[in-house]
């Protein structure tokens, strides 16, 4: 049976209310352990329970060319699969006879508290996945006290995001582009619109080869071809929303309608060096995070430049296939530079258990991309919020079952990656 979920009509999300017996309410176990969670126990919404379920719904809702863009990675797609496999091979230490009645998932990120160690990673072309686009994701981020990172390749400009969701903690992801004036213009816009940090991506001297996108001929906006007409027939709601809402285009590159691979060649610069990071520091004068660290050596180099944080990342497997698996090198990177900067990680994080694994191996926080895009494609803002629910539920449950009541204890407890 196909999964059914109608998040755009929350009033139809029926809940099954199970009345509690009075004797249960008077019991010691209920009042000690379950009283604060009774709403979660007696009401179980009919909605997706896992990221995988959201992915299934998203695939049914969205045109193949768009789903393939989100799901796909570079070349043979080995790197991303290795990241997924590595998270599955993690093993946690368990402590019993610990009072875990109160679980604290908060974390301080660049001096400010967030409610979960989970950030919304920068993703390009977000309005293509759902017509609500980046503002829908940022709104969830604001409501859940998280951090949203806007992409250079986004369909919403820094000014538009600041106007629509003024209370979200927002960072600006940046490529040092071939035309440095374009880079400087974007930095200035981010500064003027209240973005608190820059996240410079350094793993894109050239774009990776994404076979799915090449086969699909992906463009923004999608071109109308015979195959497009067939897609409209199978995904009419998505196409209707695409055609009847805000024009789909790059906020920073308005008017572009050629294949995405050609745009990447115009943007990505093969000449970026440490000198450009120093230049960014001189024009930004605020926290800078470097994304795309794939070795201890690179971590040490960028930390020596005076950055605030780094992201251990292989771009979700979307750049170099057979690149290092971020989780496998995380501990070594943290040992080398973790006392000087905050260390984050991304790539293949699809559950609260994955978040736990990353924290246990030394990360301060994680960035998620595909996971929240599945939610966005499945149900817009409601779907993204459901993704946060799932991460929060899984992380709290894992912390309780391992005997850790806060993230400092999770990190101290550690984890190991099994060979098989």
pLDDT tens digits for range 53-74: 999 999 999 988 889 999 999 9
26: which 2 tokens?
């008077």
Same domain flag for 184 and 35: no
List active site positions: 315
What CATH number has the domain bearing residue 412? 3.20.20.70
Domain presence at residue 402: yes
Same domain flag for 40 and 60: no
Domain presence at residue 225: no
CA dihedral sign, ordered 280, 282, 283, 284:
positive
Percent of the chain with pLDDT over 70: 82
- Domain of residue 43 covers 10-47
pLDDT tens digits for range 316-336: 999 999 999 999 999 999 999
Q: What is the pLDDT of residue 389?
A: 97
Count of domains observed in the chain: 2
Q: What is the pLDDT of residue 36?
A: 52
Largest CA distance in the chain: 71
Residue 45 in this model has a pLDDT that exceeds 90: no
Output the CA–CA distances (angstroms, integers) from residue 72 to 3, 117, 208, 296, in the order listed.
23, 25, 11, 27
**Spatial distance between the Cα atoms of 146 and 158, rounded to a whole number of angstroms:** 18
Which of 292, 305, 290, 283 is CA-nearest to residue 190?
Answer: 283
Same domain flag for 111 and 94: yes
Same domain flag for 344 and 409: yes
Domain presence at residue 247: no
Domain presence at residue 399: yes
Which of 107, 122, 53, 100 is CA-nearest to residue 358?
Answer: 107
pLDDT tens digits for range 153-207: 899 999 999 999 999 999 999 998 888 888 999 999 999 999 999 999 999 998 8
Same domain flag for 110 and 199: yes
**Spatial distance between the Cα atoms of 369 and 356, rounded to a whole number of angstroms:** 17
Q: What is the pLDDT of residue 41?
A: 43
pLDDT tens digits for range 104-116: 999 999 999 999 9
Which of 308, 411, 400 is CA-nearest to residue 360?
Answer: 411
Q: What is the pLDDT of residue 6?
A: 52
pLDDT tens digits for range 130-147: 999 999 999 999 999 999
Average pLDDT, integer, range 109-125: 96
Same domain flag for 34 and 182: no
- Of 94-103, 217-226, 376-385, the range with the lowest mean pLDDT is 217-226
Same domain flag for 323 and 265: yes
Same domain flag for 164 and 20: no
Contact yes or no for 169/149 (Cβ under 8 A): no
Same domain flag for 42 and 62: no
Same domain flag for 147 and 94: yes
Same domain flag for 88 and 173: yes
Domain presence at residue 188: yes
Q: What is the pLDDT of residue 233?
A: 65
Domain presence at residue 68: yes
Residue 22 in this model has a pLDDT that exceeds 80: no
pTM for this predicted structure:
0.87
**Spatial distance between the Cα atoms of 381 and 372, rounded to a whole number of angstroms:** 10
Q: What is the pLDDT of residue 232?
A: 60
Same domain flag for 202 and 335: yes
Domain presence at residue 244: no
Q: What is the pLDDT of residue 230?
A: 65
């Amino acid at each position: 049976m196909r999964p059914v979920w109608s998040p755009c009509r929350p009033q139809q999300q029926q809940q099954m209310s199970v009345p509690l017996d009075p004797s249960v309410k008077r019991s010691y176990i209920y009042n000690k352990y379950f009283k604060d969670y009774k709403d979660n126990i007696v009401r179980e919404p009919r909605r997706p329970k896992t990221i995988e379920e959201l992915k299934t719904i998203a695939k049914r809702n969205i045109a193949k060319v768009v789903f393939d863009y989100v799901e796909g990675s570079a070349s043979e797609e080995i790197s991303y699969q290795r990241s997924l496999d590595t998270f599955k091979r993690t093993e946690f230490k368990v402590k019993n006879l610990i009072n875990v009645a109160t679980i604290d998932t908060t974390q301080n990120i660049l001096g400010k508290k967030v409610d979960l160690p989970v950030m919304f990673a920068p993703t390009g072309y977000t309005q293509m996945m759902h017509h609500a686009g980046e503002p829908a994701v940022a709104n969830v981020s604001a409501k859940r006290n998280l951090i949203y990172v806007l992409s250079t390749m986004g369909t919403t400009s820094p000014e538009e995001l600041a106007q629509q969701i003024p209370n979200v903690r927002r960072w600006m992801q940046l490529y040092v582009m071939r035309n440095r004036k374009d880079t400087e213009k974007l930095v200035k816009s981010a500064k003027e619109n209240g973005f608190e940090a820059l996240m410079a991506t350094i793993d894109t001297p050239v774009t990776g080869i994404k076979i799915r996108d090449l086969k699909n001929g992906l463009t923004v906006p999608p071109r109308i071809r015979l195959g497009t007409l067939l897609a409209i027939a199978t995904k009419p709601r998505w196409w209707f929303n695409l055609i009847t809402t805000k024009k789909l285009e790059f906020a920073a590159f308005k008017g572009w309608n050629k294949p995405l691979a050609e745009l990447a060649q115009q943007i990505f610069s093969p000449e970026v060096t440490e000198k450009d990071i120093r230049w960014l520091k001189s024009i930004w004068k605020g926290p800078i995070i470097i994304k795309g660290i794939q070795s201890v050596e690179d971590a040490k180099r960028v930390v020596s430049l005076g950055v605030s944080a780094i992201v251990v990342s292989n771009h979700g497997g979307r750049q170099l296939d057979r690149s290092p698996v971020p989780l496998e090198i995380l501990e070594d990177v943290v040992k080398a530079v973790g006392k000087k900067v905050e260390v984050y990680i991304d790539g293949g994080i699809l559950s609260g258990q994955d978040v736990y694994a990353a924290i246990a191996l030394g990360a301060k926080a994680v960035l998620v991309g595909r996971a929240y895009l599945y939610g966005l494609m499945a149900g817009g803002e409601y779907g993204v919020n459901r993704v946060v629910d799932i991460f929060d539920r899984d992380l709290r449950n894992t912390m309780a079952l391992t005997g850790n009541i806060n993230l400092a204890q999770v990190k101290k407890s550690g984890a190991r990656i099994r060979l098989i």
